[in-house]
Amino acid sequence: MKDERFRYLAVKIHSEKEIRKEEFVKEMWSSAYSLLGDLGVSKMNLRVVRYDYPFAVIRCSHKSVKMLSAVLGCMKEVDEKEICVQILGISGTIKTATEKFIQKRLLE
């Protein structure tokens, strides 16, 4: 069996108030289960690998990038705070996702 390939999505979270990591992760899983069901989520291999509000890096299997984009698009609110998750870029490594998309933004 081949090793699973991942993609890392660098995202920016827009909200009026700061969102804690636990809240964000909980809502992301809830949104994923609601949209795709247990079977769909099991194929995504979803995980938040870095989180430093308002930026985060989310891992998923390389085949489910589009599904994860839809899941993030369907996230409406976290703990009654409205949010909008913007995908800054998609990469094959955590390092590139962080350096190319997040740190570059911070320097701008």
Partner 1 sequence: MKRRDFYDLGIRCRDERVKSFAFELGFKDIWIFSEPDNFEGGPLLLNPLNRKEFKKLIAKYHSKASIIAILSSNMKNDRAFIRNDFVHILYGAHRYRFDRSFVRDIEENNIAVLFDLSTLLEKGRQRSVSIYRMRHNYFLLKKRDIPILLSSGAKNIFSMRPPDEMIAMASLFDMEEDDALRALSDDAERIRKRTSPNYIREGVEVVEKGYER
Distance CA 92, CA 5 (A): 8
Give the Cα separation of 24 and 61 in Å (integer).
Answer: 20
> Cβ of residue 77: shortest distance to partner 1, in angstroms?
8
Q: Does residue 86 bind partner 1 (CB under 8 A)? A: yes
**Complex with partner 1: residue 44 or 72, whichever CB lies closer:** 72
57 touches partner 1 (CB under 8 A): no
What are 36's two structure tokens? 């795709």
Question: Which residue from 45, 73, 79, 96 is in contact with partner 1, where contact means CB under 8 A?
Answer: 73
CA distance 39 to 88: 27
The rounded Cα 89 to chain-centroid distance in angstroms is: 11
Residue ranges that bind partner 1, judged by CB under 8 A: 14-16, 31, 34-35, 66-67, 69-70, 72-74, 76, 82-87
